[in-house]
Amino acid sequence: MQNETDARAHRSLGKDIAAAILLLIPFVVYFDLPYYDKVNPTLAGVPFYYWFQTLWLLLSAILFIIAAFILDSNSGGD
């Protein structure tokens, strides 16, 4: 019985860590300003700086949704 509880807690911790990593990825990318603070390459005349940030808004939303599903599945079983 104790082993079952320990295994469930271990899986829950693993899911929490996975969700935390998914939530941290956009912050790491946004704070690495020198990486994307440039004009080229352009996309339809839009400098890299702008379209890269816009692309990461979409990617961040997807990562946040995935993290929310992971965290929701964690609390659903308790």
pLDDT for res 2 = 60
Closest by CA to 13, choosing from 77, 78, 74, is 74
> Distance of CA 48 to CAs 4, 29, 35, 37, 62, Å?
51, 14, 11, 8, 21
**What is the pLDDT tens value at each position of the chain, 78 positions in all?**
566 555 566 677 888 899 999 999 999 998 888 877 888 898 889 898 899 999 999 999 999 999 999 988 866 554
3-state secondary structure 16-49: HHHHHHHHHHHHHHHHCHHHHCCCCCCECCECHH
